[in-house]
Amino acid sequence: MSAFIKLTLQEVHSLSIEVLSHAGFGQAHALAIAKMLYTCQLDDCQSHGLFRLFMCIETIKAGKIEPHILPTVSTTDASIIHADAQGGMSLLAIDSAMPKLIEKTRKHGIAALVVNRCFHFSALWPEVERLSKAGLAAMAMVPSHAWVAPAGGIRGSLGTNPLAFSWPRLGQDPFTFDFATSGFARGEIELYKRAGKSLPEGVAIDKHGQSTTDAQAALDGAMLTFGGYKGSALSIMIELLAGPLIDDMTSLESMAFAAGTGGAPHHGEIILAFDPNLFSGGKVVDNDQRAERLFADIVDQGARLPSQRRYAARARNLERGYVEIPQQLHEDILKLTVS
């Protein structure tokens, strides 16, 4: 059984800053990335917490990212905000544009944030939850690299293509989900490899197109979408909305751009926000009660709402003031501060 160690919440943040700064990220980018890693680690989201420091470092070493450049944000009278990351990580661009997205959504009822020319490695739920905390419903999506085979296919054409959604709840944590349209997230397979564990059946194929439960064979081959043709169609939709619609790369193009180098994929992101107040004609309270009756009926059956375990982990970690991560992961991260 793997040994775990405790890190205080401050140590999670300071360790992230130390690693990122040592690797060459400018202060603004390091702070934005560290905030995301802290948020995910706080919720015991191991695949997108401190573990993602390795992808950040790999992205720097690949030599294509701009670790110091600042994003530009532009708006018009329309309800679309454009944030050009200019070859940097997505997170600083999103942080810079988020206030404008909230402002536009409250004015028009619906607005979109288009993020272009960014490297992306992170979870999407922190972004949509920031909007739901502002009283807005929101969804976000990105392509990635062509690691995922379409239903009936034998090689990667699609990205893991995550989709996140968050619904504000009065006085409660929002209803949020964030999942890859692949059966597994890429980071989960990497964690299975680190742990020497076999994958479940039906989530990946090897380089010959045969089903595999071996994590390395899956990384060398292709992942599969969830839900067969339905998941595959949803993944293609995300390719289009977060690619050609916003004048940015598909997962195939992102992989070609990488030219065999490692690190985070380079592409775009789209975030859509909705104002329940304007959509409902000012009847937010009435319709919050309608939504709560639905949630209550689901829970009453013994079912679990998405993110309930994550919220419980957040409350527990905030109360005790620390998180737990595998000792080996911590030792490997410390090596990044001296390499």
Would you name the residues annotated as active-site residues? 47-48, 188
Phi, psi dihedral angles at 322 (to 5 degrees): -155, 165
Measure the CA dihedral 319/56/234/205, to 10°: -110
DSSP 94-108: HHHHHHHHHHHHHHH
For residue 162, give Cα distances in angstroms to 8, 28, 302. 30, 26, 27
| Separation between Cα atoms, residue 69 and residue 57, nearest integer Å | 17
The vertex-123 CA angle with 217 and 102, nearest 5°, equals 155
Buried b / exposed e across 39-54, counting CB within 10 Å, b at 16+? bbbbbbbbbbbbbbbb
Length of the chain: 339
| Separation between Cα atoms, residue 5 and residue 322, nearest integer Å | 10
